[in-house]
């Protein structure tokens, strides 16, 4: 438990630094968008390609990937059930579905690498290869199916998915690993250097993207669905993982990946695809803050029952 707290503290500190920099306007909103963009289209894809390319596909714990995908499907189905909430508008349902299935990969990468070293980093990357495409498919379709679009303005979900840099990186990394392609040292070092900037910039951007004013706007609906996501995804993943025989470090990494809050870029996608933007902002802010409490609690419970 102590090691987890010490692993979580740097994450909290870096996220807080990002929030401070944004609050002081030392980096303008346009600057943060540029940082997020370069991380999204270059740095994070480089990390995914190199990590997946070096992953031993023959022995990779695909039960880890399967458990997380099952959990995402369960939480997506629960999100669709938000239609039964009194007064819930359809765009809000799309935002809830997205919140339920997305995850903050940068927090998971940081915790996984600090706690389990290179093995943890590799396992989180394998989890990312499974969760990122699943989250994007479920989010895009969940938002579009529940959006209220003007005639002739409905987005093209398939095109949005096929041009996603993270999905493209997952495909490239998977091909590299499956074919046992040996990258030239210059290329491997280039990807390594680019990837090293991913976690720090991602955590700083996550802090900058948290709208603290959203915490004051959040009501019962927001807190209910935030807790559903923070507790429901790890519970579903744990049930699925234990059912298919997942154990050891892969099980611990699975819990970490499922327990981190939703991704901060969900607000942008919600606005683009007809979701409820303010609700997405509220969910991101509440989950990011509450995760600092739920993450240690989930880890403590896992240790108590011998699961981590």
Report pLDDT digits (tens) over 206-264. 888 777 777 777 789 999 999 999 999 999 999 999 999 999 999 999 999 999 999 88
Return the HEC string of the chain: CHHHHHHHHHHHHHHHHHHHHHHCCCCCHHHHHHHHHHHHHHHHHHHHHHHHHCCCCCCCCHHHHHHHHHHHHHHHHHHHHHHHCCCCCHHHHHHHHHHHHCCCHHHHHHHHHHHHHHHHHHHHHHHHHHHHHHHHHHHHHHHHHHCCCCCCCCCCHHHHHHCCHHHHHHHHHHHHHHCCCCCCHHHHHHHHHHHHCHHHHHHHHHHHHCCHHHHHHCCHHHHHHHHHHHHHHHHHHHHHHHHCCCCHHHHHHHHHHHHCCCCCCHHHHHHHCCCCHHHHHHHHHHHHHHHHHHHHHHHHHHHHCCCC
The pTM (predicted TM-score) of the whole model is: 0.85
Higher pLDDT, 174 or 269: 174
Average pLDDT, integer, range 117-145: 89
Is 128's pLDDT higher than 70? yes
Per DSSP, the three-state class of 297 is helix
pLDDT band at 122 (very low <50, low <70, confident <90, very high): confident
pLDDT over threshold 80, residue 153: no
Please tell me the predicted confidence (pLDDT) of residue 76: 97
When pLDDT is cut at 50, 70 and 90, the band that residue 160 belongs to is: low
pLDDT above 80 for 88 = yes
The confidence score (pLDDT) of residue 56 equals: 64
* Residue 270: pLDDT over 90: no
Residue 115 pLDDT: 93
Q: At residue 194, does pLDDT exceed 70?
A: yes
Query: Rounded to whole angstroms, how far apart are CA atoms 232 and 1?
Result: 21
* Mean pLDDT in residue range 79-103: 93
State the CB neighbour count (10 A cutoff) for residue 13: 12
At 178 the pLDDT is 82
pLDDT on residue 57:
61
Higher pLDDT, 203 or 69: 69
Quick one: pLDDT band at residue 58, thresholds 50, 70, 90?
A: low
* Mean pLDDT calculated for residue range 149-161: 61
Is the pLDDT at 77 greater than 80, yes or no?
Answer: yes
Mean pLDDT to the nearest integer, 161-166: 79
Q: What pLDDT, on the 0 to 100 scale, is given for residue 59?
A: 59
What share of the chain has pLDDT > 70, as a percent? 94
State residue 1's pLDDT score.
66
Specify the pLDDT at position 307. Answer: 79
């Amino acid at each position: 438990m102590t090691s987890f707290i010490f692993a979580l503290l740097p994450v909290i500190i870096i996220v807080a630094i990002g929030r401070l920099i944004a609050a002081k306007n030392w980096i303008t909103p346009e600057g943060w968008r540029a940082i997020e963009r370069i991380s999204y289209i270059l740095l994070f894809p480089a990390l995914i390609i190199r990590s997946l390319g070096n992953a031993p596909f023959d022995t990779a714990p695909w039960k880890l990937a399967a458990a997380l995908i099952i959990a995402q499907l369960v939480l997506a189905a629960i999100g669709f059930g938000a239609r039964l909430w009194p007064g819930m508008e359809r765009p809000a349902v799309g935002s809830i579905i997205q919140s339920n299935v997305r995850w903050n990969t940068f927090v998971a990468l940081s915790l996984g690498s600090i706690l389990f070293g290179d093995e943890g980093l590799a396992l989180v990357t394998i989890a990312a290869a499974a969760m990122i495409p699943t989250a994007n498919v479920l989010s895009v379709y969940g938002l579009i199916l529940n959006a209220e679009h003007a005639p002739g303005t409905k987005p093209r979900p398939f095109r949005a998915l096929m041009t996603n840099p993270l999905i493209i990186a997952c495909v490239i990394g998977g091909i590299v690993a499956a074919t046992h392609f040996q990258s030239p040292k210059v290329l491997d070092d280039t990807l390594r250097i680019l990837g090293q900037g991913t976690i720090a910039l991602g955590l700083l951007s996550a802090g900058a993207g948290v709208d603290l004013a959203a915490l004051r706007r959040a009501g019962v609906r927001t807190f209910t669905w935030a807790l559903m996501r923070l507790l429901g995804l790890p519970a579903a993943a744990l049930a699925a993982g234990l059912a298919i025989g997942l154990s050891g470090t892969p099980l611990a990494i699975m819990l970490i990946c499922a327990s981190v809050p939703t991704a901060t870029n969900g607000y942008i996608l919600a606005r683009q695809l007809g979701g409820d933007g303010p609700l997405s902002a509220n969910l991101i802010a509440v989950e990011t803050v509450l995760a600092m409490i739920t993450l240690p609690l989930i880890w403590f419970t896992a240790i108590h029952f011998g699961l981590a």
